[in-house]
Amino acid sequence: MNTIVWQPTPVTKADRRRLNGHSSCVVWLTGLSGSGKSTIAGALELALHERGVHTYLLDGDNLRHGLNRDLGFSTRDRAENIRRTAEVAKLFVDAGLIAICGLISPYRREREAARSLFEPGEFIEVFVDCPVQVCKARDPKGLYRRALAGEIQHFTGVDDPYEPPLHPDVVVKTDRMSVKECVEAILHHLQAKGCLGARAEAPGDRAAAER
């Protein structure tokens, strides 16, 4: 018999959204290692912060220093890594924030499981699309080199597959687009979906209105 009962709270997600002046959602960036997820996630958070939007960035590597430090890179551990991250992101969305998650998250089934935790429209999947050859050439952390040398097993793009999203909400091609262009594409989608609210003007727009 289940003895754990959900305890309702007097302040709701809608209350927190009203207080913040904008909606809340999770922006889930998925793509190969070296595709530019972390760079875009950081630039996106800064752009939102400058617009007065309340955010929190959940970086996959950072989470493995704490919450997920007991997990390896087996298929099972990767699924658990995604599950935990999605549950934390759900809490931030409930708190009225825009949560930004940057993880390889290579398998569609895990990304769909993450999406299923959220209400319709709250999970925005961004495919950070970049050819594996370009990612290998960039290799910012030296991981492809180590994987190709046999030092790392089950590395996505080398000896483990990456399953691209079939119907992503946003696609940014980092071998052709600048970081600024990628961020602008995501911001445009968030604005079109009504996630940013009336307060979320660009700093330049706000300054012009005050003159």
Name residue 191's amino acid.
Answer: Q
Q: 32: exposed, middle or buried (C-beta count within 10 Å: 0-12, 13-18, 19+)?
A: buried
Structure tokens at 162: 């990456």
Structure tokens at 77: 């551990």
* pLDDT band, residue 198 (cuts 50/70/90): low
- The residue with tokens 């009962």 is 5
pLDDT at 3: 81
Name residue 46's amino acid.
Answer: L
**E-strand stretches of the chain:** 25-30, 55-59, 98-102, 123-129, 170-173
Q: Is the dihedral of CA 143, 146, 152, 155 positive or negative?
A: positive
Structure tokens at 191: 């604005």
pLDDT at 201: 55
Domain ranges across the chain: 17-196
pLDDT at 63: 86
Selected catalytic residue, list 23, 24, 38, 105? 105
* pLDDT band, residue 209 (cuts 50/70/90): very low
Name residue 189's amino acid.
Answer: H
| Helix/strand/coil for 83 | helix
* pLDDT band, residue 202 (cuts 50/70/90): low
pLDDT at 13: 96
pLDDT at 6: 83
**Does 102 or 60 have the greater pLDDT score?**
102
pLDDT in tens, 148-182: 999 988 899 998 999 999 999 999 999 999 999 99
Work out the average pLDDT over 129-134: 97
What is the rounded CA–CA span in Å between residue 43 and residue 40? 5
* pLDDT band, residue 199 (cuts 50/70/90): low
CATH class of the region 17-196: alpha beta
pLDDT at 200: 53
CB 110 within 8 A of CB 71: no
Tell me what percent of the chain is helix, strand and coil, each rounded to the nearest 5. 40, 15, 45
pLDDT in tens, 66-111: 888 888 888 888 899 899 999 999 999 999 999 999 999 999 999 9
* pLDDT band, residue 211 (cuts 50/70/90): very low
105 is catalytic: yes
Q: 42: exposed, middle or buried (C-beta count within 10 Å: 0-12, 13-18, 19+)?
A: middle
pLDDT at 61: 83
pLDDT in tens, 20-55: 999 999 999 999 999 999 999 999 999 999 999 999
pLDDT at 71: 87
CB 183 within 8 A of CB 42: no
